[in-house]
Amino acid sequence: MGHGDANTIAHVAKAADAPAPVADADPLDAIYTGPKAGLRPIHEALVARIDAFGSYETAPKKGYVSLRRKKQFAMIGPATKSEVEIGVNAKDERVAAVFTRVPPGGMCQFKTRIASVEAVDDALLAAIRIAYDEAG
């Protein structure tokens, strides 16, 4: 048996010994861990308010959660150990009253950071609602 074949067998055997991911595990548990665990209430307060807009789907990624309708309208995730970053995809310039425009080529056209549940206010939600409506 050659080195490449032996290496493949070793990797397959190691993968078989690894614990299977838990299907019911909350993806936020992986995103908001360690020093960022204190940011989870901000995330949950924001999502609770966005839920009132209507239906959408969530797509957890490695370091954030994508919120989608026909296309992604927002992303939420920890930016630092003290701030949650919110990005939105919107063409309406009214969003710029709350969010900062980012250079083209990124995942979102606008971003902002918040550091408390109290920052989840009506102005922030109105801007996210614009992106939600544009997404379809």
User: Does residue 6 sit within a domain?
Assistant: no
User: Does residue 128 sit within a domain?
Assistant: yes
- The DSSP-derived string for the chain is --HHHHHHHHHHHHHHHSPPPPTT--HHHHHS-GGGGGGHHHHHHHHHHHHTT---EEEE-SSSEEEESSSEEEEEEESSSS-EEEEE----GGGGGTSEE--TTSS-SEEEEE-SGGG--HHHHHHHHHHHHHT-
User: Does residue 7 sit within a domain?
Assistant: no
pLDDT tens profile 18-61: 665 555 578 888 999 999 999 999 999 999 999 999 999 999 99
User: Does residue 120 sit within a domain?
Assistant: yes
pLDDT at position 12: 78
pLDDT at position 18: 60
Q: Which tokens hold the place of 40?
A: 């989870």
Angle at 55 between CA 68 and CA 23, to 5 degrees: 70
pLDDT at position 21: 53
User: Does residue 104 sit within a domain?
Assistant: yes
Taking the CA atoms of 124, 92, 47 and 78 in sequence, report the sign of the dihedral they define: negative
Dihedrals phi, psi of 24, to nearest 5 degrees: -90, 5
Report the pLDDT averaged over residues 1-14.
74
In sequence order, the 6+-apart residues with CB closer than 8 A to the CB of 110 are 87, 88, 89, 90, 95, 96, 99, 100, 101, 102, 127, 131
Range of the domain at 54: 26-134
User: Does residue 72 sit within a domain?
Assistant: yes
pLDDT at position 41: 96
Q: What is the CATH number of the domain that holds 78?
A: 3.90.1150
pLDDT at position 22: 52
User: Does residue 8 sit within a domain?
Assistant: no
User: Does residue 4 sit within a domain?
Assistant: no
Question: Structurally, how many domains does the chain consist of?
Answer: 1
Residue with the two structure tokens 């614009």: 130
pLDDT at position 19: 60
